[in-house]
Structure 1
């Protein structure tokens, strides 16, 4: 019902526009001279009726397209305005109003121009309104400086200085967004981190990330399909938890093709960190000055500290790269390379830590079987006594 009413309004608007265009044309064209030229009399009211019917019919068939374009424009504006800081919004509004007032004064000089006068007035109003909007956003601190008597309308500069004086910017009660990427959702550890309450603020899940997850979940490849469905299950699990708030960002950047580039753009606009475990995204974001919360770095940081000389009871799983080596794994996935551990493959044994290395891939531990260490000490003692 509502769509029919809107369609009728658009039809009438097109008809009214046709009458106005006909009025402007008749101010320029002499209808009597035109009648003499054509050889038959043209009645003034028939021109209005015909052009009203023609343009109304045109508007009736074009109404669905107009409604679709209008709804798309409204959603686009909403996605931009809802994320815009209040200082930018107020400064841009004031700048736009000033621009339109200046346009109004300028357009007075074009009123007398037939036909082109109204068109030029609209173009100038749009141009100066847009220029005022951009200047208002870029110079918001200077503009809002005139409204210091209203605390909530002070510029960001004053707010930053105030926070600095109170303790170099303490975190506000309403913490900011943290943008999730596809890889960290599929990984699944984010759900366990949320349960620990170490994360605060709001987890923001972009719509284009959800779309990528949906495509992965619908993939013909079984492995990709399982990964995508796991990611969707993780999101459902997080959204049901009351520990942290989860929001969906419906906006999109249609001029950008890659999801990672969209994530960087969104994080830059919101001034929010990205939660990820993607190495390449991590580096790209850091190059653009965006904070990154990498859960792989978090996992490495919370791994238990092992010092050289400590004993560990492990099961050697497989053969190492070097001759005689055995390889074991701790519960957190840390690799333990055991020199001379090949003979203990498949067995539980006690080893002594010799070296601990921290690499970009994680922590690696080198050890030797405890029996081998003791044997080496006894052999050294016997050799020393024999020499003595």
Structure 2
């Protein structure tokens, strides 16, 4: 019933709009010289034509408005406070301009219908300019938001460095790895630990994965993060800056490190290389682990336990307490035994350090 009433009202509105259009044309004296029955016919055609147009297209327009409202509601939920303020300011300015224009056109009156068509036109102007103002406000925030962030970072940076040391931004890989908690507990890191909101969301996405291994990694990362927040002596902060204009998480991390003047903590090899190109300081956990491995020189004595055979014939494999691989010449027959050996050479590879020894 309500739908029928709305359709009838829109049909009447279309008829009024059609009459208005023909009346304005008639006022220009384009058709005023025609016989009366021709003018009446033109009025009838205009009224019927626009009544049909409004009747046919209004339901589709209404559906489009409903979908647009749903999309707008979903989008607004993800906006930050700053973005909402910018959008609201733009919308208010657009409505103000629409108000000024409407005050001019609403004074026009037509015979029979008065100023009703211009009131409708005024409503359309309000909607259109309000929407344009909203879009301009959002665009203004995107273009100026990063500038304000850099200015704010430049103002706050000396105080932050003096009070808290440099900011340390954790990426997803280093949280899942888990060793970062032990490093924080030892006191080798100072300053503030920052967890970007998009890293937290990526961890949650991994924890909800259908793949069992990924799901376990994601849950372990969330557990490590919870322990860092609850047990760490350093201040831990979740940053809600999303960088919506940037799609990749790694690029967002680099931009955040640049904006706040912090260091990026990771064990991602490729991210480390990209950060070096962009002059972003990186603390790589894998590099730290390699730097902490034992330093040996040829001729040095060591005691190792051979646990398996090597790739080459008669080789045995042992490991130091820090995980460094030791290749024992002719050590295959001593698997399961602890032997004294002499270092013959040391090989540094991309995967880490390898020590070659010979049994005494």
**If the length of structure 1 is used for normalisation, what is the TM-score?**
0.59
Alpha carbons of 1:238 and 1:74: their partners in 2 closer, same or farther (altered >3 Å)? farther
Asked if the contact 2:164/2:190 (under 8 Å) is kept, the reply is no
Q: In the alignment, which residue of structure 2 is the partner of 1:291? A: 281
| 1:203 Cα offset (Å) | 1.2
Q: In the alignment, which residue of structure 2 is the partner of 1:244? A: 234
Which of residues 170, 177, 181 in structure 2 aligns to 1:187? 177
Q: Check if 1:21 corresponds to 2:11.
A: no
Q: How does 1:340-355 map to 2 (within 5 A)?
A: 340-355=330-345
Segments of structure 2 that go 5 or more residues without pairing to the other structure are 1-90
For residues 172 and 217 of structure 1, the distance between their equivalents in structure 2, rounded to whole angstroms, comes to: 37
Asked if the contact 1:79/1:250 (under 8 Å) is kept, the reply is no
SS in 2 for 1:236: helix
Cα offsets for 1:15-52 (capped at 9, x unmatched): 9876543322267xxx47xx4xxxx35646x6786667
Q: In the alignment, which residue of structure 1 is the partner of 2:262? A: 272
For residues 92 and 347 of structure 2, the distance between their equivalents in structure 1, rounded to whole angstroms, comes to: 77
Q: Check if 1:215 corresponds to 2:295.
A: no
Q: Check if 1:307 corresponds to 2:297.
A: yes
Cα offsets for 1:254-275 (capped at 9, x unmatched): 3332221221222222222211
Which of residues 207, 223, 234 in structure 2 aligns to 1:233? 223
For residues 171 and 92 of structure 2, the distance between their equivalents in structure 1, rounded to whole angstroms, comes to: 48
Q: How does 1:324-335 map to 2 (within 5 A)?
A: 324-335=314-325
SS in 2 for 1:23: helix
Q: How does 1:1-388 map to 2 (within 5 A)?
A: 20-25=100-105, 31=108, 35=110, 40-41=111-112, 43=114, 80=146, 83-86=149-152, 172-370=162-360
Cα offsets for 1:145-194 (capped at 9, x unmatched): xxxxxxx9xxx9xx9xxxxxxxxxxx623312111111111111000000
Alpha carbons of 1:204 and 1:338: their partners in 2 closer, same or farther (altered >3 Å)? same
Alpha carbons of 1:233 and 1:84: their partners in 2 closer, same or farther (altered >3 Å)? same
For residues 95 and 291 of structure 2, the distance between their equivalents in structure 1, rounded to whole angstroms, comes to: 70
| 1:55 Cα offset (Å) | 7.7
For residues 229 and 75 of structure 1, the distance between their equivalents in structure 2, rounded to whole angstroms, comes to: 35
For residues 283 and 96 of structure 2, the distance between their equivalents in structure 1, rounded to whole angstroms, comes to: 57
Segments of structure 1 that go 5 or more residues without pairing to the other structure are 1-10, 90-151, 160-170, 371-388
For residues 140 and 187 of structure 2, the distance between their equivalents in structure 1, rounded to whole angstroms, comes to: 37
For residues 94 and 276 of structure 2, the distance between their equivalents in structure 1, rounded to whole angstroms, comes to: 52
SS in 2 for 1:194: helix
For residues 15 and 340 of structure 1, the distance between their equivalents in structure 2, rounded to whole angstroms, comes to: 86
**If the length of structure 2 is used for normalisation, what is the TM-score?**
0.63
SS in 2 for 1:172: helix
| Aligned pairs, number | 269
Asked if the contact 1:15/1:51 (under 8 Å) is kept, the reply is no
For residues 315 and 223 of structure 2, the distance between their equivalents in structure 1, rounded to whole angstroms, comes to: 41
SS in 2 for 1:238: helix
Asked if the contact 2:153/2:261 (under 8 Å) is kept, the reply is no
For residues 69 and 250 of structure 1, the distance between their equivalents in structure 2, rounded to whole angstroms, comes to: 22
| 1:80 Cα offset (Å) | 4.9
Calculate the aligned-residue CA RMSD, in Å: 4.0
